[in-house]
Structure 1
Amino acid sequence: MNAVSSIQQVTNGARYEPLVQLRNITVTLDNKPILQNVDFQLGEKQCVAITGPSGAGKSTLLRLLAGIYHGHLEGHIEHFGTDCLASPDSRIGMVPQGVADNLNPHMTVVEHLLDGLDIHFKLSRRECHKRAHDLARQVALPQVLLKRYPRHLSGGEIQRVLLALALVSDPEILLLDEPTAALDEYTRNQIYQLLAQQRRIRTIVLVTHDMDLARAVADKVVRMGSGKVLEQAPATSLSSDICSRAPDTFKEPLVSPSQQVLELRQLNLNHHGRVLFSNFKMDLLRGSLTLVYGASGSGKTTLARVLAGWDPLPEGTELHRNGKAVLLAQHATAACARHFTLRQILEEPLIVSQQPVHDSQIRHWLKQVHLPHTDQFLQRYPASLSGGELQRLLLARAMLSEPELLIADEPTSALDPALREEMVSLLLTVQRLSDCTLLIFTHDKALVHLTGQAGWQLTSSGLSENGHYVQI
């Protein structure tokens, strides 16, 4: 990757007196250990990448460094030389995973920045606006986006807005949770460059499955598993061998596409003066598997929402669905009500649509997606599950509605290679069991190999035709 190779590793005369120190930290939630006896030190202008499988405790550790935690905490935490129990500190900025739910849908980008500046500084309105525009330039956010609302931003643009917000207080430490998840290669390279610039002036900790990012910007890699720190090593020691399987590892669904399940014609949609779709057309056959690729901002999520009926059809659009369509949303955490038990999360769509709720079906689909199907598990809350477990829970919820068309929006984003393969295997399994049509929108080029299917490129008028597949 040219952008990665062009980034020069920066060696800093790091001060080894730790800015943040965790000693013998244990965090439990619902009697389940999330972190176990963790020791962690963070020195001045270090850049540390935290890696490991989903459910390893990476995001919990990152939030703890920011002074945020849920559950019961034991151990000693020290921020900037001061003994403390976890508490927020303006010298620490945090960038959560880039979902629009982290932003106020009723505020523009510049209003978010002005609000943050007002909290941290006593500035005139003119100076606030100047600093807001400076922050936008610092994260390569075009000025034209400052007046937009979150719903009008792409995933990469949202990521840069969140980074700008984290930099509002000019923090000494910057924490990032999966900063390149679900971004296309071009946008990932932009984030690489931004972080390479930031690591020259501040300490950075990032949780990531992106080994290219870890090699490009990190000094040290911390590998976690089952809530424990398993290993700490220089980033240069990372293996470039990415686990993947041959195309024939997973079998194509044993179905015979014979009936059209979806027909879309004359979709015309503009986004802030930019044409997303012009006379767009699309057809899907029953039982088929379709992979759709496209750059950030190309309209993948917008199209997924339109096809699933989440967004209204633009005037003149013709959409015919033969059966029910269900959308498996990209961000599992945002799709789950925190105050609901897992049982309530599973039952909610059935209750809303006045469908019968069968306990046997709930347990059947939990078993199919490799989750416990006990009463104790169903009484738990979503905060007790990892991101990968939540994605599987939502897959079970989707299948309870018995869809003829299952639409998955970036189903493997922020998953490590092993769980990515498991998620693909589960999607193919539920398709085979239900005989549904499966439509996947993704940036993950590995899915071509994992499914044995060629991917179609999303264009403004339709999917690329005449056999012009995405070249992997």
Structure 2
Amino acid sequence: MTNTAAAAAEAALLTVEGLRVLLPSRTARASGTESWGSPVVDGLSFQLQAGQTLGLVGESGSGKTMTALTLMGLLPPQAQVEGHVYFQGPQGRVDWLALDPRQRRRYRGSQIAMIFQEPSTALNPLYTCGQQLRETLQANTSLTPGEIRSRAVQLFEEVQLSPQLLERYPHQLSGGQIQRVAIACAIASNPKLLIADEPTTALDVTVQAEILRLLANLQQQRQMAILFITHDLSLVAELADQVIVMYRGQAVEQASVEQVFRDPRHPYTRGLLACRPVLERRLRRLPTLQDFQVEETQEQPGSLSIEHQWRQVEITAAEEEERLQRLQSQQPLLQVRELRTHYAVRQGLFRRQVGELRAVDGISFDLYPGETLGLVGESGCGKTTLGRTLLRLIRASSGQVLYDGDEWLRLPPQRLRRLRREIQLIFQDPVASLDPRMTVGESVMEPMWLHRIGANSAERRKRAEQLFQRVGLDPESLNRMPHQFSGGQRQRICIARALASEPRLIICDEAVSSLDVSVQAQVLNLLKDLQEELGLTYLFISHDLSVVKFMSDRIMVMNRGRIEEIGPASQIYQYPQQDYTRRLIAAIPKGDPKRRTHLPQTG
């Protein structure tokens, strides 16, 4: 190390040198012997200066969160850590890995704080938000009880929350509000380093923009350093100064944000940039990591550029218009007229009705055979309620739904049971929608048994194997349990299960929102291939307009239970008619480093 580099390392708030983290292998845990698996973090080195934001990017399993847990001192006791981590604390530079647990507790919370990926599980459901914030202040500061109460109010105002919410429980807040509470707890003791682990995952684009703007403002006011962890490079462009791209525990690219977006050197980085749907183009298929020849040992850039990939699969305006005209020349498969779903709002000891929540409030639209109709809007706008009302999982208050000419909402039970096989649902969370006590083969064959598809078990088994092949899974894995698959594989299993009953219409409810961008691209391509092969019709529900635009022939924008506007996908993006739609489009991360100081207002 040169004298200049050594001086820079000494001055850095955080210096990581050759960090290597190993966890016991499965056989070691089962037998009690000492045996280590492949490193989950392998030779990671970087420096983070005070007031700087470093983006740590990669897919699930790349080592991002393990790096964060190492820096927080929260790794399991059996983990083996090698290398050096130096932190510039109040008493000078300390070797973080050499500190004992008691010494680390003096830094954790007061000097180094973390926003966890899932705030709803990071907060205790048994305590109010105020109690949890005051507990954090009590543990990390020497303030009096009165000063703690005043400081809690001040912190809530700083993260743009009403102090009245201090007395509410986490389940009484929206996703964006819960994330703000988590941020308030993290910054309560004015830490020098804030680690944000996927702080905007599964949030609406508008709420996501608000959280990014909030973090940028807090950093500017407090001169904090931020380690921002995400799987989405376009988010990093909005906030970070430097970027580290991780792949299988290693840093495969490390440079400024501008350099990474202008000239990505590693094929994995190129793939991550290309996998994200782009709003400026209409693509037939999304490029995937495999298109960029990502290999563990490869160091040279891939042979196919992002621009070349896009040009190969771009859809022209004439092709888009011709397809839409062909679809709309048919009789609609689904006709919805003035559909309403209202909920009674009850309060008090006797649960008297004091109002009414109009989740779906007079919606009308047509859906044509073979079409994908995108439904986009913020959380709470009524998207999921509409989907479940159409499936008759929720009772409609009024309105008419015609499915292939049948009065869907008034079908007798016997006729409804026969037609249910034709309308299926793919849920947002594949973990929650698969029974953990059943093999994935049993889950896929269950709809066949319910709808009497296949003469016997052997025939259903053979069909399940064919479905697994169709969605890109190994038929030999039918006997495995859901927890033995990755997130992307579990979502493919859910797609296979939806196809098992030979449906005509599939409602995709946030089916890709929790997936890595690379896995998301594979699943979206799969859904398009299946539509072309089987003639499927989709109602595609999402809060992500870029994903909806890629998938959809037409887009329907929903707000507060009503349809704001509906039209061809490209037209909605290029010429939005409503202010609400314009705000949704403005809040989408564009992957432009120049926007870092111009995050859009969404209120």
Task: Give the aligned partner of residue 53 of structure 2.
Answer: 47
**1:249-274 C-alpha deviation (Å, 9 max, x unpaired):** 15989997753387772223588989
Task: Give the aligned partner of residue 153 of structure 2.
Answer: 133
Residue 215 of structure 2 aligns to a residue whose secondary structure is helix
Larger deviation, residues 138-147 vs 228-237: 138-147
**1:308-354 C-alpha deviation (Å, 9 max, x unpaired):** 566x54766877465256544435566678xx48x646746977998
The reply to whether residue 292 of structure 1 matches residue 375 of structure 2 is yes
Q: Which residue, 557, 560, 568 being the options, matches 1:457? A: 557
Shift of 1:221: 0.5
Note the residue ranges of structure 2 that are not aligned, 5 or more in a row. Answer: 1-7, 28-36, 88-94, 264-272, 286-314, 316-322, 347-354, 402-407, 410-418, 575-603
Amino acid at match of 1:23: L
Task: Give the aligned partner of residue 183 of structure 2.
Answer: 163
Task: Provide the rounded CA distance (Å) in 2 between the counterparts of 1:181 and 1:101.
Answer: 14
Q: Which residue, 83, 98, 103 being the options, matches 2:97? A: 83
Task: Provide the rounded CA distance (Å) in 2 between the counterparts of 1:43 and 1:13.
Answer: 9
8 Å CA contact retained: 1:293, 1:441: yes
Task: Give the aligned partner of residue 3 of structure 1.
Answer: none
Number of positions where the alignment pairs a residue of Structure 1 with one of Structure 2: 455
The reply to whether residue 259 of structure 1 matches residue 330 of structure 2 is no
8 Å CA contact retained: 2:375, 2:557: yes
Task: Provide the rounded CA distance (Å) in 1 between the counterparts of 2:512 and 2:545.
Answer: 11
Task: Give the aligned partner of residue 7 of structure 1.
Answer: none
The reply to whether residue 35 of structure 1 matches residue 118 of structure 2 is no
Shift of 1:457: 0.7
Residue 249 of structure 1 aligns to a residue whose secondary structure is coil
| Change over 3 Å in CA distance of 1:137–1:306 after alignment to 2 | farther
Task: Give the aligned partner of residue 323 of structure 1.
Answer: 420
Amino acid at match of 1:378: R
Give the TM-score normalised by the residue count of structure 1.
0.75
The reply to whether residue 443 of structure 1 matches residue 543 of structure 2 is yes
Residue 43 of structure 2 aligns to a residue whose secondary structure is strand
Task: Give the aligned partner of residue 239 of structure 1.
Answer: 261
Residue 511 of structure 2 aligns to a residue whose secondary structure is coil
Amino acid at match of 1:58: K
| Change over 3 Å in CA distance of 1:328–1:207 after alignment to 2 | farther
Q: Which residue, 214, 217, 232 being the options, matches 2:239? A: 217
Q: Which residue, 168, 175, 179 being the options, matches 2:199? A: 179
**1:119-160 C-alpha deviation (Å, 9 max, x unpaired):** 656876654443332222222223454455545544333332
Q: Which residue, 60, 63, 67 being the options, matches 1:57? A: 63
Task: Provide the rounded CA distance (Å) in 2 between the counterparts of 1:112 and 1:326.
Answer: 41
| Change over 3 Å in CA distance of 1:101–1:316 after alignment to 2 | farther
**1:420-459 C-alpha deviation (Å, 9 max, x unpaired):** 3322112223445665542222233323552352311103
| Change over 3 Å in CA distance of 1:13–1:55 after alignment to 2 | closer
Amino acid at match of 2:420: G
8 Å CA contact retained: 1:281, 1:462: yes
Task: Provide the rounded CA distance (Å) in 2 between the counterparts of 1:376 and 1:116.
Answer: 47
Larger deviation, residues 441-450 vs 399-408: 399-408
| Change over 3 Å in CA distance of 1:446–1:240 after alignment to 2 | farther
Task: Give the aligned partner of residue 249 of structure 1.
Answer: 284
Higher helix fraction: Structure 1 or Structure 2?
A: 2
Query: Once the two structures are aligned, what percentage of the paired residues are identical?
Result: 25
| Change over 3 Å in CA distance of 1:316–1:93 after alignment to 2 | farther
8 Å CA contact retained: 1:180, 1:210: no
Task: Provide the rounded CA distance (Å) in 2 between the counterparts of 1:438 and 1:71.
Answer: 48
Residue 14 of structure 2 aligns to a residue whose secondary structure is coil
Task: Provide the rounded CA distance (Å) in 1 between the counterparts of 2:561 and 2:78.
Answer: 53
Shift of 1:17: 6.2
Q: Which residue, 332, 339, 342 being the options, matches 1:268? A: 342
Residue 177 of structure 2 aligns to a residue whose secondary structure is helix
| Change over 3 Å in CA distance of 1:351–1:162 after alignment to 2 | farther
Note the residue ranges of structure 1 that are not aligned, 5 or more in a row. Answer: 1-11
**1:70-121 C-alpha deviation (Å, 9 max, x unpaired):** 7974442656413359978533433233564554556554354345456656
Task: Give the aligned partner of residue 528 of structure 2.
Answer: 428
Task: Give the aligned partner of residue 210 of structure 2.
Answer: 190
Q: Which residue, 225, 241, 245 being the options, matches 1:203? A: 225
Task: Provide the rounded CA distance (Å) in 2 between the counterparts of 1:302 and 1:148.
Answer: 25
8 Å CA contact retained: 1:408, 1:439: yes
Query: Residues 242-391 of structure 1 correspond to what in structure 2 (within 5 A)?
Result: 243=274, 244=277, 247=282, 249-250=284-285, 258-260=332-334, 265-269=339-343, 277=359, 279-282=361-364, 285=367, 287-304=370-387, 307=390, 312-313=394-395, 320=408, 322-323=419-420, 326-332=424-430, 340=436, 344=439, 347=442, 355=450, 359-375=461-477, 378=480, 381=483, 385=486, 387-391=487-491
Residue 165 of structure 1 aligns to a residue whose secondary structure is helix
Task: Provide the rounded CA distance (Å) in 1 between the counterparts of 2:498 and 2:39.
Answer: 27
8 Å CA contact retained: 1:108, 1:147: yes
**1:340-399 C-alpha deviation (Å, 9 max, x unpaired):** 48x6467469779985985545544443333444349925735x73x4444444444544
RMSD: 4.6
Amino acid at match of 1:370: G
Task: Provide the rounded CA distance (Å) in 1 between the counterparts of 2:547 and 2:202.
Answer: 13
8 Å CA contact retained: 1:96, 1:177: yes
Residue 559 of structure 2 aligns to a residue whose secondary structure is coil
Give the TM-score normalised by the residue count of structure 2.
0.61
| Change over 3 Å in CA distance of 1:424–1:132 after alignment to 2 | same
Amino acid at match of 1:247: R
Shift of 1:408: 2.7
Larger deviation, residues 216-225 vs 198-207: 198-207
| Change over 3 Å in CA distance of 1:261–1:27 after alignment to 2 | farther
Q: Which has more radius of gyration? A: 2
Amino acid at match of 2:362: F
8 Å CA contact retained: 2:359, 2:381: no
